[in-house]
């Protein structure tokens, strides 16, 4: 019996057998055309695990006359790369070398740079794969010389299609009839998280751990696959690219007042145990996206965050959900972040000039001799605690940074300031 994992035994040898990735592998799609042309260029495959990156690289290797080498950057060294490069000057490398470098994000800059010279002269054709965003982890000189293809997470239907193919292989290998209930296949497709390799491993465990019945049938039902497969593994890494994708979707959903989507992404973060990121992002959102449209939001959210940090998870999910629902259903205004960013932009890009002398610190002996505080009008000595005077430096005295948002609260603030300025 073949002892290789099922995922390896059913690995496609033709592009038509690859499940999913129709956006790049479908008929007349770009990667399909490149592979069938036989003229292979440097490529980077980017996407979650179990989506076909290694499979497609193997198919490409079989369609070229180049010598094929495979390294995994997790455990490969610079010496391993040098050994591959050395073959370019031998008979084995006379037609060029195709190097498949898996998990390239684990190579440091020096290791990646060592490939450049040989990528440039065409002696090495590089196909690298990564589960992380290549724009964050791959050396820019390699990016500029490569075509990037994103492998997307498989949908449930794609995973089930792959499972059925695996089931056909197993049926050919063993003497017993194998019957997998539809609800069992559906469950494996659902909890796989788009990872076909994970789903196939679960199917194999379920089948080989289940004894045949009196009729010689191995029947796999929902209870068996639930017992044989792990729970759903989320595509989330606190230090990886998906971390920022989930947080971005979380904030944008709250900003868009979609309370259900907001709770969905909160659930992802809660399930990953990423309590600190949730708390920091909620505090930011309270000022960045709600701001003065509902000034009390940040106070309430701060209390929710403090409660969550004190409780920890899983109980902390409850005050966090309270904060999320509050923010998602609150009126929105970005006037606060726009105001401070305009002020910072002037500070960085303009000659702003000096602070007016009359509002400089004058609480020390000799300040008056320097002209500090002379002519300052103390607002509390005037009607309504307001008096018109210049506070900004001369060079930017007409600058306007705060533009009130279009909401009831900020309209009240705006009307109050206007009423002061209209006073004679």
> Which of 196, 182, 200 is CA-nearest to residue 154?
196
More confident residue, 371 or 294: 294
pLDDT of residue 63: 82
Tell me the C-alpha to C-alpha distance, in Å, between residue 123 and each of 44, 81, 85.
17, 13, 8
Q: Average of pLDDT values for 270-287?
A: 93
Confidence bin at 8 (pLDDT 50/70/90) = confident
Q: Average of pLDDT values for 397-423?
A: 89
Q: Is the dihedral of CA 80, 82, 85, 86 positive or negative?
A: negative
- Does residue 233 have a pLDDT over 70? no
Task: Identify the domain boundary among 172, 197, 228.
Answer: 228
Looking at the structure, tell me whether residues 79 and 106 fall in a common domain. Answer: yes
Of 60-74, 210-224, 306-320, the range with the highest mean pLDDT is 306-320
pLDDT of residue 327: 97
pLDDT of residue 300: 97
Mean pLDDT rounded to a whole number for the chain: 89
> Would you call 147 helix, strand, or coil by DSSP?
strand
Q: If you ran DSSP here, which 8-state letter would residue 354 be given?
A: P
- Does residue 419 have a pLDDT over 70? yes
CA 130 vs. chain centroid, Å, equals 13
pLDDT of residue 234: 57
Q: Is residue 3 part of a domain?
A: no
The two tokens of residue 119 are 């990528």
The two tokens of residue 391 are 């506070």
Q: Average of pLDDT values for 408-422?
A: 88
pLDDT of residue 228: 81
> Which of 342, 328, 335 is CA-nearest to residue 287?
335
Looking at the structure, tell me whether residues 359 and 377 fall in a common domain. Answer: yes
The CATH number linked to 256 is: 1.20.272.10
Looking at the structure, tell me whether residues 143 and 160 fall in a common domain. Answer: no
> Which of 224, 242, 235, 218 is CA-nearest to residue 184?
224
Q: Are 129 and 100 in contact (CB under 8 A)?
A: yes
Q: Average of pLDDT values for 238-263?
A: 87
Confidence bin at 241 (pLDDT 50/70/90) = low
> Which of 272, 266, 273, 330 is CA-nearest to residue 296?
330
Cα 236 to Cα 93: distance, rounded to the nearest angstrom: 40
- Does residue 128 have a pLDDT over 70? yes
Q: Which of 171-175, 234-238, 320-324 has the lowest mean pLDDT?
A: 234-238
pLDDT of residue 366: 86
Confidence bin at 6 (pLDDT 50/70/90) = confident
Q: Is residue 374 part of a domain?
A: yes
Q: Are 277 and 270 in contact (CB under 8 A)?
A: no
Looking at the structure, tell me whether residues 273 and 195 fall in a common domain. Answer: no
Q: Which of 221-235, 253-267, 392-406 has the lowest mean pLDDT?
A: 221-235
The CATH number linked to 119 is: 3.40.50.300
As a residue count, the chain comes to 424
pLDDT of residue 111: 86
- Does residue 368 have a pLDDT over 60? yes
pTM: 0.68
Q: Is residue 369 part of a domain?
A: yes
Q: Average of pLDDT values for 213-227?
A: 89
Q: Average of pLDDT values for 125-136?
A: 90
Which residues, in sequence order, are CB contacts of 78 under 8 Å at separation 6+? 110, 111, 114
Count the domains in the chain: 4
Looking at the structure, tell me whether residues 184 and 279 fall in a common domain. Answer: no
Q: Average of pLDDT values for 270-296?
A: 94
Q: Is residue 68 part of a domain?
A: yes
- Does residue 72 have a pLDDT over 70? yes
Task: Identify the domain boundary among 122, 150, 178.
Answer: 150
The two tokens of residue 268 are 């992802």
Give the Cβ contact number of residue 387 at 10 Å. 14
Confidence bin at 230 (pLDDT 50/70/90) = low
Q: Which of 45-54, 86-95, 315-324, 398-407 has the lowest mean pLDDT?
A: 86-95
Looking at the structure, tell me whether residues 71 and 100 fall in a common domain. Answer: yes
Q: Are 187 and 52 in contact (CB under 8 A)?
A: no
- Does residue 92 have a pLDDT over 80? no
Q: Is residue 236 part of a domain?
A: no
Q: Average of pLDDT values for 282-297?
A: 97
Task: Identify the domain boundary among 266, 296, 328.
Answer: 328
> Which of 264, 160, 174 is CA-nearest to residue 216?
174
Q: Is residue 184 part of a domain?
A: yes
Give the Cβ contact number of residue 121 at 10 Å. 9
More confident residue, 274 or 233: 274
pLDDT of residue 238: 55
Give 354: exposed, middle or buried? Use CB within 10 Å, 0-12, 13-18, 19+: exposed
Q: Is residue 143 part of a domain?
A: yes
Range of the domain at 256: 241-328
- Percent of the chain that is helix, strand, coil (3-state, to 5): 55, 10, 35
Looking at the structure, tell me whether residues 91 and 25 fall in a common domain. Answer: yes
Looking at the structure, tell me whether residues 26 and 142 fall in a common domain. Answer: yes
Looking at the structure, tell me whether residues 47 and 145 fall in a common domain. Answer: yes
Give the Cβ contact number of residue 202 at 10 Å. 22
Task: Annotate 196-239 with DSSP letters as a single string.
Answer: HHHHHHHHHHHHHTS---TTSEEEE-HHHHHHHSPPPPPS--TT
pLDDT of residue 367: 84
Looking at the structure, tell me whether residues 263 and 193 fall in a common domain. Answer: no
Per cent of the chain over pLDDT 70 is 95
Q: Average of pLDDT values for 115-144?
A: 88
pLDDT of residue 311: 94
Q: Is residue 76 part of a domain?
A: yes
More confident residue, 364 or 331: 331
Beta bridge partners of 391: none
Looking at the structure, tell me whether residues 54 and 142 fall in a common domain. Answer: yes
The CATH number linked to 171 is: 1.10.8.60
50 membership: H or E segment, kind and range: none
More confident residue, 90 or 306: 306
Looking at the structure, tell me whether residues 141 and 174 fall in a common domain. Answer: no
Cα 172 to Cα 128: distance, rounded to the nearest angstrom: 34
């Amino acid at each position: 019996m073949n002892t290789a994992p099922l995922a390896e035994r059913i690995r496609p040898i033709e592009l038509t057998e690859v499940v999913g990735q129709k956006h790049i592998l479908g008929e007349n799609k770009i990667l399909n055309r490149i592979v069938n042309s036989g003229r292979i260029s440097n490529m980077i495959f980017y996407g979650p695990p179990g989506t076909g990156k290694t499979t497609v690289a193997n198919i490409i290797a079989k369609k070229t006359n180049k010598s094929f080498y495979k390294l995994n950057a997790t455990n490969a060294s610079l010496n391993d790369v040098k050994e591959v490069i050395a073959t370019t000057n031998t008979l084995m490398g006379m037609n060029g070398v195709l190097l498949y470098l898996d998990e390239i994000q684990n190579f440091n800059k020096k290791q990646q740079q060592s490939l450049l010279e040989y990528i440039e002269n065409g002696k090495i054709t590089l196909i690298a794969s990564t589960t992380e965003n290549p724009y964050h982890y791959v050396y820019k000189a390699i990016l500029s010389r490569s075509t990037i293809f994103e492998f997307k997470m498989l949908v449930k239907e794609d995973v089930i299609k792959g499972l059925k193919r695996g089931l056909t292989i197993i049926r050919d290998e063993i003497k017993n009839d194998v019957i997998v209930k539809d609800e069992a296949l559906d469950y494996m497709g659902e909890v796989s998280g788009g990872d076909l390799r994970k789903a196939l491993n679960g199917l194999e465990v379920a089948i080989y751990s289940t004894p045949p019945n009196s009729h010689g049938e191995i029947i796999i039902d929902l209870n068996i696959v639930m017992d044989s497969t792990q729970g759903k593994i989320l595509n989330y890494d606190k230090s990886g690219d998906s971390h920022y994708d989930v947080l971005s979707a979380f904030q944008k959903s709250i900003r868009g007042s979609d309370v259900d989507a907001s709770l969905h992404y909160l659930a992802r973060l809660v399930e990953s145990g990423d309590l600190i990121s949730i708390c920091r992002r909620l505090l930011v959102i309270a000022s960045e996206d709600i701001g003065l449209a509902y000034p009390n939001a940040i106070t309430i959210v701060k209390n929710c965050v403090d409660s969550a940090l004190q409780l920890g998870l899983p109980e902390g999910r409850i005050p966090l959900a309270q904060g999320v629902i509050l923010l998602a259903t609150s009126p929105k205004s970005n006037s606060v972040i726009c105001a401070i960013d305009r002020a910072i932009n002037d500070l960085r890009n303009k000659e702003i000039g000096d602070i007016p002398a009359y509002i400089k610190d004058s609480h020390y002996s000799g300040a008056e001799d320097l002209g500090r505080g002379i002519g300052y009008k103390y607002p509390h000595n005037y009607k309504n605690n307001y008096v018109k005077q210049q506070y900004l430096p001369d060079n930017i005295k007409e600058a306007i940074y705060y533009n009130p948002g279009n909401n009831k609260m900020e309209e009240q603030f705006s009307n109050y300031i206007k009423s002061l300025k209209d006073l004679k």
